[in-house]
Every structure is written in structure tokens, then in C-alpha cells.
A and B are shown apart, each in its own frame.
Chain A
Amino acid sequence: MDHDQRSALSRRVTSLESLLVQRGVVKTAELDGIVDRFVEKVGAGNGGKVVARAWVDDDFRDRLLADAGAAVEELGLGQAFGFLAHRHFVVLANTPQLHNLVVCTLCSCYPSALLGPPPNWYKSDAYRARAVRDPRGVLREFGVRLNDDVEIRVWDSTAETRYMVLPLRPTGTDDLSEQELVGLVTREALVGTAVVPTPGNPPAQRRAASNLESNPSASP
């Protein structure tokens, strides 16, 4: 989408918003509250909190994998989750034998209620088309090198369920606090386009991610 199209869309949204407010369908304060919630209360940091707790607490991990929506409420993330709570939320555990990758080939479905809006590359045609066709190639470009014996499972979010990945806990982190572990979890790791590296040993993933991000045709 080029700049003019974006401005046209922006004007259309603004006009629509004024009309809805004028006719009393919504109140400005309600809209501000929703935007505020997206900016302040949701984001990849929430995913980091969920993952770190699952790494340090096996019982929480079990509950998370059984009913992720209820488990995130335990961490006080219920409000962030709140207004999309009708969505089913499923967390997929990576193991040494299984790597999960999340995509939405039809649009850009993403666990936004917890993690905020998806990154631009997640919405790009290239990612959406190739994740289900050549996931190993996509992962390589993100800097993720998996052994040949690791099964890859792609999750296409085509219906009401939203998926998040529980990445493997990196080796050499036994001495880290839960809070320190939160800081290791990247947004990419939460959809499977990254693994969480051992601290001090970062993977070469940023270049591929930023290439996709800077693609001007990437935003729908």
C-alpha cells in the first residue's frame, strides 16, 4: 500500500469514526480506551511473561497447554485478554523433536488480544504464502536452523482459535530469575520464526526479519 492509499484509508477511518460518534453508536472515550489498551496493556511482553512462567513452573505449563485462556488469567493478563475473550486461545509447545510455526494464510489472524497488533512481516504476502509451502526455507531466512530430524508443524489460523508458541527454554539459563527469562523472549519466538537463544549467543535473525518488515508491499 503506498502513501496516498494509506492517507485515503486514514481519512476514511476518521470520517467513519466521526459519524459513529455523532450518531451515538460509540463514544470517543470508549474508542480511546480500546486504543489505550492496545498500546499500554498488550504487547509481546505479555507473551514473555507467559513463557517465562511456563519455563519455571511445570504445573503452570501443564495448565497453559490444557487451557491457555484460563492460564493467562492467572497471571493477571485477563484484562488484556478481555475484549476478545470469546476467542479460543491455544499455546503450542516446542520440543526437541517438534517446532511449531504460526501463520494466517487468509489474512493476518494473530493473538492480538494478548500480544498486540502483528508485526508487518507477519501480514506480508510472502510470509503468508511461503510459511505453508516452504517452512524450512522461511525459517532459514529468519536465521533458525533446525536439525533434519525436527518435525515442523505449521498452524494456519483460519478460524476462531488463536495460536501462540511456547519456545524451548535455552540452555545455560538455570540461574536466571523468572524476570530475566521474560526479557529473553522475542516477538518472533512467540510465533515460531525464532528460537530463544542462550544469552550472549544471539542468532543472525534480525536481517531476514527486517528485510520483510521494510518491504513496502508488506502491509495489507
Chain B
Amino acid sequence: MTRALFNPGDQVRARRSDPEGHTRLPRYTRGCTGVVQTVQGVHAVPDERALGVDDPGREPVYTVLFRSQDLWAADDFGVCVDLWERYLEGA
């Protein structure tokens, strides 16, 4: 999968997954909604790389801006997190 599913300005939600193995989806973002800022290009998926597979999947990585009100119901600041496409769904 190399064509980016999301574009800058799109609202996305970090998936509420709880994988058993390695992931680079920070727990504090799960279930939270943010806005895509940039598409960073296509990179090997760390969840698969960590398994040592020969040919890990490659997916677009997005910089997603979350608001502290959505992450913590508190304060007023932004947090940008770089997330692989499989970590996200449309919101």
C-alpha cells in the first residue's frame, strides 16, 4: 500500500487497537481525533519490522495534530504525532 489514503486537513482518529507486539502508536493517542498536517512519505511498518519478517509492509506516515482537549480534556496546546496509515481511520 503506497497511495496515501488521507490528505492534509483530513480529520482522522487513532485506532483503539491494543496489539500484543511492538507498535509505534502511542497509547495516549488511541481513540483520539486529530487533523493530518503532512504526509511524510512511505515507510516500513515497525509492527512488522519488529517481527523480523523479510518483507515488512510499507505505508504512508502522517503527521497528525491532536489538541490537548481531545487527548487529556485539559489545557490548550497541540501535540503532533507521526503515525503509520494502519494506525488511523477516517473521523
Chain A interface (Cβ within 8 Å of chain B)?
88, 105-106, 132-136, 151-161
Among candidates A88, A135, A156, residue contacting B80 with C-beta atoms closer than 8 Å:
A156
Interface positions, chain B 59-90, Cβ under 8 Å from A, are: 61, 63, 65, 71-72, 75, 77-84
Determine the residue in chain B with the shortest Cβ distance to A107: B24
Chain B residue contacts of A151, Cβ below 8 A: 77-78
Give the complex CA separation of A152 and B80 in angstroms: 11
Tell me whether A154 and B78 are in contact in the complex, defined as CB-CB below 8 angstroms, given that A133-B72, A159-B61, A159-B84 are known contacts: yes
Among candidates B40, B72, B78, residue contacting A161 with C-beta atoms closer than 8 Å:
B40
Contact B28 A132 (CB under 8 A): yes
Determine the residue in chain A with the shortest Cβ distance to B62: A159
Give the complex CA separation of A157 and B26 in angstroms: 11
Q: Is the interface of B mostly helix, strand, loop or mixed?
A: strand
The answer, yes or no, to whether B43 is at the interface (CB within 8 Å) is yes
Among candidates B26, B61, B78, residue contacting A105 with C-beta atoms closer than 8 Å:
B26
The answer, yes or no, to whether B8 is at the interface (CB within 8 Å) is no
Chain A residue contacts of B84, Cβ below 8 A: 159
Q: Size range of the interface on B?
A: 20 to 34
B29 vs chain A, min Cβ distance (A): 8
B46 vs chain A, min Cβ distance (A): 8
Can you offer 24 A-B residue contacts whose CB atoms are under 8 A? A88-B40, A88-B41, A132-B71, A133-B28, A133-B72, A135-B77, A151-B77, A151-B78, A152-B78, A153-B65, A153-B77, A153-B80, A154-B78, A154-B79, A155-B79, A155-B80, A156-B79, A156-B82, A159-B24, A159-B40, A159-B82, A159-B84, A161-B40, A161-B63
B54 vs chain A, min Cβ distance (A): 19
Among candidates A134, A136, A160, residue contacting B40 with C-beta atoms closer than 8 Å:
A160
Chain B interface (Cβ within 8 Å of chain A)?
24-26, 28, 40-41, 43, 61, 63, 65, 71-72, 75, 77-84
Among candidates A88, A135, A136, A156, residue contacting B26 with C-beta atoms closer than 8 Å:
A156
Among candidates B28, B72, B83, residue contacting A159 with C-beta atoms closer than 8 Å:
B83
Contact A158 B81 (CB under 8 A): yes
Give the complex CA separation of A106 and B82 in angstroms: 12
Chain A residue contacts of B26, Cβ below 8 A: 105-106, 156, 158
Among candidates A156, A157, A159, residue contacting B43 with C-beta atoms closer than 8 Å:
A159
Contact B78 A153 (CB under 8 A): yes
Contact B82 A160 (CB under 8 A): yes
Q: State the 5 A-B residue pairs at the shortest beta-carbon distance, nearest first.
A: A159-B82, A152-B77, A153-B78, A154-B79, A156-B81
Among candidates B65, B78, B83, residue contacting A158 with C-beta atoms closer than 8 Å:
B83
Chain A residue contacts of B83, Cβ below 8 A: 158-159
Chain A residue contacts of B82, Cβ below 8 A: 156-161
